A and B are shown apart, each in its own frame.
Chain A
Amino acid sequence: MMLSMQPLICAGFIAMATSHGLPSTPLLATLAENVPGIFYALPLVALASLIFAATHHEDPAEIRFATLHWAVWLGGILGTVFVAVMLLGWMA
């Protein structure tokens, strides 16, 4: 049933992207104008943390704790790199 629902789910999302293209939809136009690109990385950090944690543990409580652990590490490393790049750009 889940396999047969995949095309329907995909079609639903594509229907949201109108034939006139993106980001002409109001939501995405707002996102494009107001949300800096760097913030689109945050859901990816959360996803990677969750997957890493869930593949290392079985217990849901351990998975939650490990997700936070990984998210802090990933966010910290990426944040440090971001700050370093910003400083280098400021000093250049």
Chain B
Amino acid sequence: MIKPTPLPLQRSASRANFQSGQTRPPIGSRIVAISPDDGSSIDLRNPALAALLSWCLPGLGQIYQGRTQKGAIFMGAIMATFLIGLWLGGGKVVYASWKPGETRWAFVCQAGAGLVALPAVIQSRHLNGSARQPLLPIGFMAPPLSTGQSVSRKYAESLTQSDPDIEADDFFDKPPLRQFRGDQLSIWHRRLGKFFEIGTLYTMLAGMLNLLVIFDAWAGPLGTPTDEDRKLHKNAGDKNIQTPT
């Protein structure tokens, strides 16, 4: 079976491209990007896999490509921001909810941080599914209970024991389930105050900035043309419009 030759990913930031007017020929069959700092080639290996790895764990794609320092920077910065946001928000700011009127749109941004936000999806599916209780203990990343929501007896008891703002009287007995008559999101806002919003902001920003990291793993550094590159490009354009005498 003949394997298709992967199309090389060319970057036009290098000076040689502007001078010759031609793109740099591919190096073997590797997919490379050009560093905007020194014009050296960056072997992107499998860009799709690198991008996926960077989504799973920020910076892992760069480490896979051998760009270890950058990968460590991305991993440390984004994971630290996400976890600090989770801590500031008391572990309550990352959850997935698609109920009409209670949709957690912030999770769309938080999911950009990768697998670290995945427990929220698992918890939401279990709590709203037939199990009526989250899979992970202490309701970690579980969505808040809304008024009238039915949960398992076990989860109702664990909430009563672990949360000082929830009492046994907050649940109606509805065999085999128990129906919550409060509003857990209001409880969280009252307890956390401004830290609920601050934690949400930190986790959202970590997720959104990881999209840039994913793009860096996919296509290499964005690069900004230097003034010299701009002049060379302008001169190359001027040559095309000169009319012969």
Contacts and interface: CB of A to CB of B under 8 A. Distances in A.
Interface of A: 2-3, 6-7, 9-11, 13-14, 16-17, 19-23, 28, 32, 37, 40, 43-44, 47-48, 50-52, 54-60, 62-63
- Interface SS majority for chain A: helix
Given A21-B165, A47-B77, A54-B73, A6 B192 contact: no
Interface residues of B, number: 55
A23 to B, nearest CB: 6
A28 B137 CA distance: 24
Given A10-B83, A52-B212, A57-B221, A3 B78 contact: no
A62 B40 CA distance: 14
B140 interface: yes
A14 B91 contact: yes
B67 A51 contact: no
Nearest to B94: A10
Nearest to A53: B73
User: Which of A7, A22, A60: most chain B CB closer than 10 A?
Assistant: A22
Contact of B37 (A14, A32, A44, A59): A59
A55 B215 contact: yes
Interface stretch (B20-28, B148-156, B198-206, B237-245): B198-206
B70 A54 contact: yes
B199 to A, nearest CB: 9
Contact of A54 (B74, B79, B90): B74
